[in-house]
Structure 1
């Protein structure tokens, strides 16, 4: 399992509620989480075979940005 980290603009629990169904719907993502306490709002994604670009495209569907850390 690979762990990838991304800086995001997911700032609050409402933002998290918007991105949750989109990330949960991606079959390549095993697990994920967003550190809302971090200044960079780090999204951590665990997956065997998802690329950073696929994570970016998934997050953008929910209206947010995810840049590799």
Structure 2
């Protein structure tokens, strides 16, 4: 299992709710959270999903994600 981190434009609880279904239904994602207090709005994902799969899941929900070093 690995940990991936992404800079996002997920700003608030409503945004988190909007991406929840997409991230929860992505195979290989076992746990995720967004630090909305961080200026870069860091999404941390634990699991076996690829960074491409995570980015696609976030984009499907209407947001952006760019991988950063974990």
User: Do residues 26 (structure 1) and 23 (structure 2) align?
Assistant: no
- Alpha carbon RMSD of aligned pairs, Å? 0.8
Structure 2 residues without counterparts, runs of 5 or longer:
none
Structure number with the higher strand fraction is 2
Deviation at 1:51, TM superposition (A): 1.4
Structure 1 residues without counterparts, runs of 5 or longer:
none
| 3-state DSSP of counterpart to 1:17 | helix
Q: State the TM-score, normalizing by the size of structure 2.
A: 0.92
Task: Return structure 1 stretches of 4+ with deviation > 3 angstroms.
Answer: none
User: Do residues 3 (structure 1) and 3 (structure 2) align?
Assistant: yes
Distance 1:16 1:54 in 2: 17
Deviation at 1:27, TM superposition (A): 2.2
Q: State the TM-score, normalizing by the size of structure 1.
A: 0.93
Q: Could you say which residue in structure 1 is the equivalent of 2:43?
A: 43
| 3-state DSSP of counterpart to 2:29 | coil
Q: 8 Å contact 2:26–2:57 — kept in the other structure?
A: yes
